[in-house]
Structure 1
């Protein structure tokens, strides 16, 4: 299976600095992840702003409540502009997630660019077609709704 590319853009009605402050704290991922994924951060990161080289360990159960370990690294960061997390250990053959932020009239434009690839060749391609691609899309839809609740229009 070739890597898939997904892009999601959302305007958040808050200043760039406020939005960056929230998204630069990995512990806030819990507030944007669907409950059924059973997302649990294992690393002691509470109260820490992310930094380049930061390793974050999670346990997730996205399919049939089967627990999986997931380890990501913050590989690049430019304060108030972008950060990138790459999977080091986990369910994907490739997970490269770019988070871009830009001040715009009325708030902050946030763009996520995700490249992912499911392992196991043809079997992975079938799994992606059957449920993984939809699951990734649903997670980002949930994230968008959570962000709208966390940062409502004033």
Structure 2
């Protein structure tokens, strides 16, 4: 059994960090684009809680791997655990632990445990190389999430450069997190729209 664990302090409120990780599809944001990692929720239960099933697929060192996972533990603002229920590994499980270090600081720890099968797949993939790829992916993933939640990262694909600059400007003005800045911008736009409506 191989266990890899990586931790990082993220300058964002615990609730914001937990909410981000609670969505399985956000796992894909944590890995390099060239891996083509996809995470697709197949069956959502209890608001992405225990019983949620999702599929992970991607290119791992030139080998296309795919497996289905189920969320087996979900403690709000503390822990999320998912394990493989069908796929190429003998065992695969990911645990994300959250520790509040302050009002706007959260320690996030990713731990992956896996066991490669014997036989064709186990022989095709170099175990040492896979561990290094996984370690690098987890560390880079935590940096990506940190940058995204702290508002210092690359522009999300679903937002324009102009909109992203507006969010960062509002974040600086309010001295708040990215998500709080987005909520503030939405509220401002709603107030302006309401004020601009003609009275019948």
Q: TM-score, normalised by structure 2?
A: 0.65
Question: What count of residue pairs does the alignment treat as equivalent?
Answer: 148
Which has the higher Rg, Structure 1 or Structure 2?
2
Q: Which residue of 2 aligns with 1:67?
A: 64
Q: Which residue of 1 aligns with 2:90?
A: 93
Structure 1: runs of 5 or more not aligned:
none
Residues 82 and 101 of structure 1 are in contact (CA less than 8 Å); yes or no, is this contact kept in structure 2? yes
Residues 26 and 39 of structure 2 are in contact (CA less than 8 Å); yes or no, is this contact kept in structure 1? no
Q: Distance in 1 between matches of 2:96 and 2:20?
A: 13
Residues 31 and 137 of structure 2 are in contact (CA less than 8 Å); yes or no, is this contact kept in structure 1? yes
Q: Distance in 2 between matches of 1:119 and 1:97?
A: 18
Q: Which residue of 2 aligns with 1:31?
A: 29
Q: Distance in 2 between matches of 1:20 and 1:56?
A: 18
Secondary structure of 1:76's partner?
strand
Q: Which residue of 2 aligns with 1:11?
A: 9
Q: Distance in 2 between matches of 1:53 and 1:26?
A: 12
Aligned partner of 1:83 among 77, 80, 100:
80
Residues 33 and 139 of structure 1 are in contact (CA less than 8 Å); yes or no, is this contact kept in structure 2? yes
Shift of 1:44: 5.2
Q: Which residue of 2 aligns with 1:128?
A: 127
Secondary structure of 1:91's partner?
coil
Aligned partner of 1:41 among 39, 42, 47:
39
Shift of 1:45: 7.0
Whose helix proportion is higher, 1 or 2? 2
Aligned partner of 1:140 among 127, 138, 141:
138
Shift of 1:90: 2.2
Secondary structure of 1:10's partner?
strand
Greater mean deviation of Cα atoms: 7-16 or 21-30: 21-30
Q: Distance in 2 between matches of 1:34 and 1:45?
A: 26
- Structure with the bigger RCO (C-alpha within 8 Å, sep 6+) is 1
Shift of 1:70: 1.3
Cα RMSD after superposing both structures: 2.5
Greater mean deviation of Cα atoms: 94-103 or 34-43: 34-43
